[in-house]
């Protein structure tokens, strides 16, 4: 049951709206099956009528099946939510992974029946499961179970080392921050996100950023707004939230304007020396360390928050050259009654309680996904896995920044911004490509050997390797990473490091 939950949730959430896909025509019809807990997320791939889903994003049907007691039991059936290739018209089973097989196919209702390839024969069930019966059962029982789940106090095993008693006022959000946007002035679009587009605008005498969500994505708007509304979310390393409101039929988050745009855009258009790079890496790590921290201050509790979608597109560069985290649409709030140090140990039984921001676990951007998330082997009995995934992504971001530092070059060539694994796999790698390179071959971005000649007494290579270690438990915490970066020299001289007085 635990393995079923792990693969089911990780798969369905990776295929969720965190990874956009273009509209599809003509409409594909796929058999649909999802647990009540994940029905809402699964429905994002298309409209559902009974046991049939009408695809809204791709022409591909997909299926995930668990091999159990000689049978292939469906865990998830429906439309693929990702724009991907599915040349096979029938559902060919993949190579079994931890008693699971999956398939993608390109004809109506093709995910009802599995075709066993040679590589899957060793795990082929002795007789086929009755998928139609399962779908009918879910169709009639789904409504009842959904209603029951809404009135039941569900305690999900998720965070490994926190007390099972919810602390008073934990994760209570502030009062609604709705503001009147009638006199707002939209000036220009500055970015496009997974759920919304971001405008530069003029509001109450100041330039601001306006994240505009269409009416159909109201839940995504509410989820991100509720993260910003959590107490103690004010920090220099987190984009400042100014309010929220409606503009016609659209929903709007009003945020401070980062005049230099996303980190991705900044690195693509600017050459960074050591001083500017140092400020970027240090403030980036400090922001994540604060997000991962929990504390009580003046009777108000700040919970641990896992970002779950760290990338250079979801980090802003402010006018002073510092970083600020943004885009909390995939974030998870992890409630803990003790200090963040409890997350590092092994003690009490743990539980997670429903919060205003919980929906499904959405895993973010492929380039930056940790090996365990790529594999769908996330340990949902521990919230540490999400924090460890963030630190892996942080390691890639630090590499991305350091590669663009002109002072860390031995030649006069202006550094060119590249994404992690772009040199190895190109700008748009597939999940299969990343699984092979990152998980199976355990390849990481190349670290130039001459970097350490600039930082005598401090190993950049060791820092990065400790962030993106294949073993999640061996990775640094965000706070430890921030502390190490704080010890970096303020000035660099080839062959030695000196500190600025």
Please, what sign has the CA dihedral across residues 247, 258, 229, 10? positive
Instruction: Evaluate if pTM is beyond 0.75.
Output: no
Domains of the chain in sequence order: 2-151 (2.10.60.10), 268-498 (1.10.510.10)
Q: What is residue 435's DSSP assignment?
A: I
Radius of gyration of the chain measured on its C-alpha atoms: 23
Distance, in Å, from the CA atom of 265 to the CA atom of 279, rounded to the nearest integer, reads: 17
Q: Would you say 58 and 111 are in contact if contact means Cβ atoms under 8 Å apart? A: no
Buried b or exposed e, range 192-205, using 16+ CB within 10 angstroms: ebbbbebbbbebee
Q: Please name the residues in contact with 80: beta carbons below 8 A apart, sequence gap of 6 or more.
A: 15, 45, 55, 57, 58, 60, 61, 62, 86, 104
Token pair in block for residue 342: 């409890």
Query: Which residues are identified as catalytic?
Result: 309
**How big, in percent rounded to 5, are the helix, strand and coil portions of the chain?**
35, 20, 45
Distance, in Å, from the CA atom of 358 to the CA atom of 386, rounded to the nearest integer, reads: 14
Q: Would you say 161 and 347 are in contact if contact means Cβ atoms under 8 Å apart? A: yes
Burial class (CB in 10 A: 0-12, 13-18, 19+), 262: buried
Whole-Å CA distances, 42 to 11, 55, 170: 10, 11, 29
Whole-Å CA distances, 279 to 70, 282, 283: 57, 5, 6
List the pLDDT tens digit at each of the 501 positions of the chain. 444 444 444 444 444 444 444 444 458 888 888 876 667 667 778 888 777 888 887 888 888 888 877 677 888 888 887 667 788 888 888 877 767 788 889 998 888 888 876 555 554 443 334 444 444 444 444 443 343 343 333 333 333 333 322 333 334 445 456 788 888 888 888 887 777 889 999 988 889 999 999 999 999 999 999 999 988 888 999 999 999 999 888 999 999 999 999 999 999 999 999 999 999 999 999 999 999 999 888 878 889 999 999 999 999 999 999 999 999 988 988 864 443 333 333 233 233 322 223 334 445 688 899 999 998 877 655 678 899 999 999 999 999 999 999 888 877 777 789 999 999 999 888 899 999 999 999 999 998 877 766 665 567 889 999 999 999 999 999 999 999 999 888 887 655 444 343
Distance, in Å, from the CA atom of 280 to the CA atom of 284, rounded to the nearest integer, reads: 6
């Amino acid at each position: 049951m635990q393995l079923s939950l792990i693969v089911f949730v990780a798969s369905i959430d990776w295929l969720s709206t965190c990874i956009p896909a273009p509209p599809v025509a003509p409409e594909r019809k796929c058999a649909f099956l999802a647990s009540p807990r994940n029905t809402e997320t699964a429905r994002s791939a298309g409209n559902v009528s009974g046991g049939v889903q009408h695809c809204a994003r791709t022409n591909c049907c997909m299926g995930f099946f668990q091999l159990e007691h000689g049978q292939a039991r469906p865990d998830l059936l429906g439309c693929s939510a990702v724009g991907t290739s599915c040349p096979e018209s029938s559902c060919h089973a993949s190579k079994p992974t931890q008693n699971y097989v999956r398939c993608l196919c390109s004809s109506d209702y093709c995910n009802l029946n599995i075709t066993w390839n040679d590589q899957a024969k060793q795990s082929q069930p002795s007789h086929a499961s009755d998928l139609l019966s399962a779908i009918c059962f879910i169709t009639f029982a789904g409504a009842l179970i959904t209603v029951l789940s809404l009135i039941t106090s569900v305690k999900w095993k998720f965070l490994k080392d926190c007390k099972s008693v919810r602390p008073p006022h934990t994760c209570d959000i502030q009062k609604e921050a709705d503001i009147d946007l009638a006199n707002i002035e939209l000036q220009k679009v500055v970015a496009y996100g997974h759920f919304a587009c971001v405008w530069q605008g003029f509001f109450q005498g100041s330039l601001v950023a306006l994240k505009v969500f269409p009416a159909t994505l109201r839940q995504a708007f509410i989820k991100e707004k509720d993260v910003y509304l959590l107490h103690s979310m004010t920090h220099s390393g987190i984009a400042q939230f100014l309010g929220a409101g409606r503009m016609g039929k659209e929903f709007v988050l009003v945020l401070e304007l980062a005049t230099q745009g996303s980190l991705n855009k900044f690195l693509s258009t600017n050459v960074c020396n050591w001083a500017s790079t140092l400020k970027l890496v240090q403030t980036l790590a400090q922001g994540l360390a604060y997000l991962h921290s929990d504390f009580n201050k003046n009777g108000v509790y700040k919970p641990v928050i896992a970002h779950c979608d760290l990338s250079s597109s979801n980090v802003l560069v402010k006018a002073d050259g510092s970083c600020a985290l943004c885009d909390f649409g995939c974030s998870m709030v992890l409630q803990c009654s003790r200090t963040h140090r409890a997350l590092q140990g092994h003690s009490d039984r743990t539980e997670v309680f429903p919060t205003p921001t919980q929906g499904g676990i959405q895993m973010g951007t492929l380039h930056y996904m940790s090996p365990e998330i790529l594999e769908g082997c996330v340990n949902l009995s521990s919230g540490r896995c999400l924090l460890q995934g963030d630190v892996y992504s942080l390691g890639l971001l630090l590499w991305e920044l350091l590669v663009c530092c002109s002072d860390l070059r031995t030649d006069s060539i202006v550094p060119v911004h590249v994404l992690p694994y772009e040199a190895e796999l190109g700008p748009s790698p597939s999940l299969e490509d990343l699984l092979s390179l990152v998980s199976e071959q355990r390849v990481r971005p190349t670290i130039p050997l001459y970097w350490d000649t600039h930082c005598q007494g401090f190993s950049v290579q060791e820092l990065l390797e400790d962030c993106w270690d294949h073993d999640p438990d061996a990775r640094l915490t965000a706070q430890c990473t921030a502390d190490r970066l704080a010890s970096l020299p303020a000035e660099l001289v080839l062959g030695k490091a000196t500190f600025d007085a």
